[in-house]
Structure 1
Amino acid sequence: MEPDQAVAALGALAHEHRLTAYRLLVEAGPDGLPAGTIAERLGTPSSTLTFHLQQLLHAGLVSQRRASRQIIYAMVPASMNALMAYLTENCCGGQASRAPACEPAAPAARSRKSPAV
């Protein structure tokens, strides 16, 4: 991943609604969710959600496809993995195997309830 791509991805995630929507899509997996379902689960108006999902789409973090009259959004695993790899590429000076600080983090504690899936 190039630095400008990382900045675009991080910028897209730097908003509470987009981050919450993205986490919901990560939880849903590569099959994704219809836009209406995402809006319902997040309690966000459809027009507002569309704006936020477009930001994630332009950053390459999600994909969209049409299924009949619905638009299905899904996370793009390769983009998420590339961003994580970019952020941790030089962790612990390349000595990650010998540095406990560079081991994968435990699941994050949630300070508030996540959207039901």
Structure 2
Amino acid sequence: MLVDDLNSQIWAVDALGALAHETRLSVFRALVKAGAQGMVAGAIAEYCSVPPSTMSHHLATLERAGLVHSERESRLIHYRADFAGMRRLLTFLMQDCCQGAPEMCGDLLGEFQGDLACLAEQPANA
């Protein structure tokens, strides 16, 4: 296994581990739904019904895993999903898809298009 492959695998395990918790998965999904606007930490804690001190731990775990990034705005910390990190994880999971027969999973997103609001809202010629 190449060093880059090993590093990618270690990172993917960390990212999947960060998502393998009910609260963190809820936080990540809320931030994905919020899009580029993101959410402030207090709103995330309220949304998930989690005390702010506990929420800061979950947000730090997601940030270390490369799935969330934060930006201080005065006294507030604004969090956004790291879409590049999410794309990196999905790419890692799918890169060796179908033992070299990409037609088997080439339209994977197409199967779920109705379930993905961002795809369903795109114009037909997008």
Q: Which residue of 1 aligns with 2:104?
A: 99
* Residue 59 of structure 1 pairs with residue 58 of structure 2: no
AA matched with 1:53: L
1:36-78 CA deviation, whole Å, 9 max, x = no partner? 1111111111111111111001111110111111100111111
Say whether the 8 Å CA contact 1:34–1:72 is kept in structure 2: yes
Structure 1 distance, partners of 2:53, 2:73, is 19
Q: Which residue of 1 aligns with 2:83?
A: 77
* Residue 42 of structure 1 pairs with residue 41 of structure 2: no
* Residue 23 of structure 1 pairs with residue 49 of structure 2: no
Q: Kindly, what percent of the aligned residue pairs are identical? A: 42
For this pair of structures, how many residues does the alignment match?
A: 107
Partner-residue secondary structure (3-state), 1:92:
helix
Partner-residue secondary structure (3-state), 2:36:
coil
Label 1:72 to 1:2 Cα distance change in 2 as closer, same or farther (>3 A): same
Structure 1 distance, partners of 2:107, 2:54, is 37
Kindly indicate which of the two structures has a greater share of residues assigned to helix: 2
Q: Rg: which structure is higher? A: 2
Structure 1 residue runs of 4 or more that deviate by more than 3 Å after TM superposition: none
Partner-residue secondary structure (3-state), 1:21:
helix
Q: Which runs of 5+ in 1 are unaligned?
A: 109-117
Q: Report the aligned-residue RMSD.
A: 1.8
Post-superposition offset of 1:23: 0.4
1:82-102 CA deviation, whole Å, 9 max, x = no partner? 100000111112322x22586
Q: Which residue of 2 aligns with 1:12?
A: 18
Q: Which residue of 2 aligns with 1:3?
A: 9
Task: Normalising by structure 1, report the TM-score.
Answer: 0.83
